[in-house]
Structure 1
Amino acid sequence: MRGRKVGILLIAVLAVVFVAGCAKAPQAELESAKAALESARAAGADRYVPDVFKAAQDSLNAATTEIEAQNSKFAPTRNYKKALPLLDAASRLAAEAEAQVAGKKEEVKAEAQKLAGEAKAALDEAKRLVRRAPRGKEGRAAIEAIQGELNAVEASLAEVPAMIEKEDFANARDRAKAALAKTKSIIEELKQAIAKKS
């Protein structure tokens, strides 16, 4: 009788240890980190502060990998202690990225406006140089091609203010930067043609 009580007690203790040893996956923390990351993405963190956003994404990915690794283990041996700091880091970095977006947007907006101004000035210079370019037999076709390129750059640059108005600052900056680079390239080409003529 006494042996039977000890056996039942032993089974009860083992059952408690088994159930207690079955660590639960940090589902609430995982969902919280995912929500923080999605909120940061919606704010534009992936475009305006990509380094911080990527660090948050990497932490979430590492935590997810760790959780999946633990889920594949025998229940009493699961341990999610490594995943918790990663989930915390993902949430913290996502919040940090989201907080930095507003300041970064203003910075990118100012850069877009500056580049657009520089591109407009370069475009005006290129137009002046076109009037001075040689117009010989081969020159006329080259000038027409350059004029077509300048018209395309001007049309592209004309879209920048509307992009800024829509708060699409990153694309506005990229468009203005591309317009400036193309116009500078054309200016160099025109200067070389004018120098050969002289």
Structure 2
Amino acid sequence: MKKKLLFVLTVGTTVLLSSCGKAPQVEIDAAYTAIEQAKSVGANVYVAEDFIALQDSMSSVSENVELENGKLFKNFDKVKSQLALVNAMAIETKVKAEIRKEEIKLEVANLKMELDSIILEDQDLVSQAPKGKEGTAALEAIKGDISAIEASVIEVENFVSEDQLVAALNKATAAKEKALAINDELNEVIAKYTKHKRN
């Protein structure tokens, strides 16, 4: 009877240890896949802080797996709970990245429309600007700057088509600043010339 009881206890303990003693590899692999999916849509670029937090959470899971693996009686219940959270975080981070990408696309599109309008205005102001000895040279330099801005607009379009949205946004923002600076400069020159002419 004692031998029978001992056998039952041994079998029961073995079943218990085998159910709790193995790392949940399927769930771990699923979590890594979810993180990679978030990264594939640019989460590491567009929502960098969220992505770092996601990676930190997965690092914590790995540490706890190692910790449990070092024990005689292993229990991965806490790890499984963490993995469920990591999966949820990964899905949320992926969605946030996709939303941010669309926001940037819209920002770039609006900047490009503004740029097109400012460039046309700058070109019109160039035609109105005074053309003296010094004025001609200055205007040629400004025309060169406007051409460079037009080239930047093409670069912005290329960045968008290559899904390099942050680069597109930075380029468009810098080009707009330059175009506005030219606009201010030309308006100031024309205003001074008009005032001097009246006097």
Question: What's the TM-score, normalizing by structure 2?
Answer: 0.68
The one of 25, 29, 32 equivalent to 2:30 is: 32
Distance between the aligned counterparts of 2:102 and 2:46, measured in 1?
10
Q: Is the 8 A contact 1:56 1:91 kept in 2?
A: no
Q: Secondary structure at the match of 2:27?
A: helix
1:92 is the counterpart of 2:106: no
How many residue pairs end up in the alignment? 185
Q: Which of 109, 115, 132 in structure 2 is aligned with 1:119?
A: 115
Q: Which amino acid aligns with 1:61?
A: S
Give the structure 2 partner of residue 157 of structure 1.
153
What aligned pairs does 1:32-71 form with structure 2 within 5 A after superposition? Answer: 32-68=30-66, 70=67
Equivalent position of 1:189 in the other structure: 185
Map of 1:126-165 to 2, 5 A cutoff? 126-165=122-161
SS in 2 for 1:96: helix
**Which stretches in structure 2 are left out of the alignment for 5+ residues?**
none
- With over 3 angstroms needed to count, the CA separation of the structure-2 counterparts of 1:129 and 1:33, relative to structure 1, is same
Structure 1 gap ranges (5+): none
Shift of 1:156: 1.5
| Secondary structure at the counterpart of residue 72 of structure 2 | helix
1:165 deviation in Å? 4.8
Cα distance in 1 for partners of 2:153, 2:62 equals 44
Please report the TM-score for the alignment, with normalisation by the length of structure 1: 0.68
Matched to 1:45, the amino acid is A
Deviation string for 1:116-171 (max 9, x for gaps)?
Answer: 10111111122222333444555444433322221111012024445545555554
